[in-house]
Chains A and B, each alone.
Chain A
């Protein structure tokens, strides 16, 4: 069965600091990978996705993620965070081909201090 690990459960950064959130998955086949964001009091929204091709994926609001197949990782990065990035971030994985269920990590709460 597929699974997702997010190593940092709570991250506190000052504005303008760089961000990297770790995500590792376990699955033996070809995967599709996602990062979702949940702002306080809101529902989840898609930040970015990886299906195939260039392993460096750019998403909305300046976020990017790199798929490293050999490390089973899909870390989320942002060069300079803003207070408005305060949110919870979820990594998710699905095996590709037809419809397969999506498994989410437990999330990382990011707090950005002005």
Chain B
């Protein structure tokens, strides 16, 4: 089925480790975003992209990097994991109308 695919679904990291959360969509959507969801704080935008080669920062970009080399893929890199990055991460994509299709999420724990 068409949609947004996130991998992995679960991950445990040690403080200081780095990793990449993968996100791929097959709907030819121009826009892709990464959010983190924390209890009592809703969804907060980390980074977003309006097309291949174009990215920008959201509300909480520190500690994260992104790139968009293709329309389909929008990986999120944690440079040096910290316990404060323990969260559920959602990737979402849309056309110009911002009607997001969300991935199923990655639950990350940093110990």
Contact = CB atoms under 8 A, between A and B. Distances in A.
A102 B100 contact: yes
Interface string A28-72: 000010101000001111100101000000000000000000000
Interface residues of A, number: 23
Interface residues of B, number: 26
B42 interface: yes
Contacts of A90: 42-43
Contacts, number: 55
B74 interface: no
A32 B31 CA distance: 16
Contacts of A94: 98
A75 interface: no
Contacts of B41: 106
Contacts of B58: 101
A99 B42 contact: no
B19 to A, nearest CB: 21
Interface in B31-49: 31, 33, 35, 40-45, 48
Nearest to B40: A106
B45 to A, nearest CB: 6
A25 B9 CA distance: 32
Contact of A102 (B33, B50, B105): B33
